[in-house]
Amino acid sequence: MKAVIIDDEPNARSTLRGMLNMLFQDLEIVGEADGVASGKTIIETHRPEIVFLDIRMKDGTGFDMLRQLKTRDFALVFLTAHDDHAIEAFRFSATDYLLKPVDPDDLKDAVEKVRRHNTNNQALLGTLMENIQQASAPSKKLALKSSEAIHIVCTDDIIRCESMDNYTRFILKDQKPLVISRPLKAFDEMLEGVGFLRIHQSHLINLSHIRKIDRKGGFIVELSDGSEAPVSVRKKEKLLKRLQTI
């Protein structure tokens, strides 16, 4: 697998290069760059399969470089010294990132994930760029990897999510349900900031899709598709408070 490292800090590039050489015998580092312009050139010249890209560099950002590329057909792992707003976009777009200083175990996990999945990198990076450009928008594009494909879903179109042990079932507006091999907790943490609330151990709902709340015999939420979800006792007060802000 051909790899490229793009980072404006020589020591950071050297450290990452050493880790990659030590951990992966069959990964070839075909080039390094120290900024946006040189990074664009090295990607277009070598056409790597995986790119390790710093976010903030002297002549711009990693996002600036991505915008300049005509094709983005490679797996991407971002490098950042800051746990900042961009990380939300990475999570929504199913894009890997590593916090500096890079932990060898995290690096190994990121590369192994690239090896395991035959991913549509163009789709993922397109979703990432859209989320970055619309960082303040109330809705996001969410990349969901099923066993068959990568599905790009607008969060406004998610009615609810249902736990199925270590899987999550997405109920979508005017689309077939999707089953994703990640637990509900992962999406709970991701979606709470864009209008979702976990009202029960097994149910995460989009508050904008609530049609009514039935208080007879316990709280039951009816959603826009006619489905229902129970509200746990300890989530009742939080649900009512959140509804006041909509």
Domain boundaries, the chain: 2-133, 141-244
Burial class (CB in 10 A: 0-12, 13-18, 19+), 119: middle
Helix (H, G, I), strand (E, B) or coil at 102: coil
Question: What pTM does this model have?
Answer: 0.81
Token look-up 């057909």 returns 73
Residue pLDDT, tens place only, 165-174:
999 999 999 9
Q: What is the pLDDT of residue 146?
A: 80
Q: Rounded CA gap, 92 and 143, in Å?
A: 6
DSSP-based three-state secondary structure for 120: coil
**Cα–Cα distance, 244 to 207 (Å, whole number):** 11
Top CATH class of 141-244 equals mainly beta
pLDDT value, residue 119 = 67
Which uninterrupted H or E stretch holds 109? helix 104-116
> Which tens digits make up the pLDDT trace of 63-85?
999 999 988 889 999 999 876 66
- Mark the ranges of the chain whose per-residue pLDDT is less than 70: 83-85, 117-120
Q: Residue 17's closest CA among 52, 49, 59?
A: 52
Q: How far is CA 45 from CA 31, 163, 181, in A?
A: 9, 45, 36
Quick check: 140 and 149 in contact, CB under 8 A? no
Q: Residue 78: name the closest of 25, 91, 70, 69 by CA.
A: 91
233 phi, psi to nearest 5 deg: -55, -45
Q: What is the CATH number of domain 2-133?
A: 3.40.50.2300
What does the block give as tokens for 168? 């999550």
